[in-house]
Chains A and B, each alone.
Chain A
Amino acid sequence: MKNERVIVFTLAIIVVLVSRPVFAHHSGSAFDLEHPVTLKGTVADFVWSNPHVFISLDAKDDKGNVEQWRVEGNSPNMLARAGWKKEMIKAGDLLSVTGAPAKNGRKILRLVSVMLANGQEFDGQGFK
Chain B
Amino acid sequence: MVRIHFMGLVLAAALASSPSTLAQTAQHSGPAKARAASGKPDFSGVWFITEYRRNLLPKEDPPFQPWAEAVLKKRDLENNQADPDTGPDPTERCIPPGVPRIMLQPFPWEIVHARDRVVMIFEYQSQVRQVFTDGRRHPKDLDPTYMGHSIGRYEGNTLVVDTIGLNDKTWLDPMGLPHSDALHVVERVRRTDHDTLEVNYTIDDAKAYTKTWTAQKIFKLKPDWQIKEYVCSENNEVR
Contacts and interface: CB of A to CB of B under 8 A. Distances in A.
Given A28-B76, A28-B176, A75 B55 contact: no
A95 B13 CA distance: 44
Interface residues of B, number: 41
Contact of B59 (A24, A75, A108): A24
27 contacts: A21-B58, A23-B54, A24-B57, A24-B59, A24-B60, A25-B55, A26-B72, A26-B76, A27-B76, A27-B79, A28-B75, A28-B174, A30-B79, A30-B87, A31-B84, A47-B235, A72-B85, A74-B106, A75-B230, A78-B106, A102-B83, A102-B84, A106-B83, A108-B84, A126-B106, A127-B49, A128-B51
Interface residues of A, number: 32
Nearest to A100: B84
Contact of A128 (B52, B61, B83, B176): B52
B48 A127 contact: yes
A125 interface: yes
Nearest to A45: B238
A30 B225 contact: no
Interface of B: 48-55, 57-61, 72-73, 75-76, 79-85, 87, 94, 106-107, 123, 174-176, 225, 228-232, 234-235, 238
Contacts of A118: none
Interface of A: 21, 23-31, 47, 49-52, 54, 72, 74-75, 77-78, 81, 102-104, 106, 108, 110, 125-128
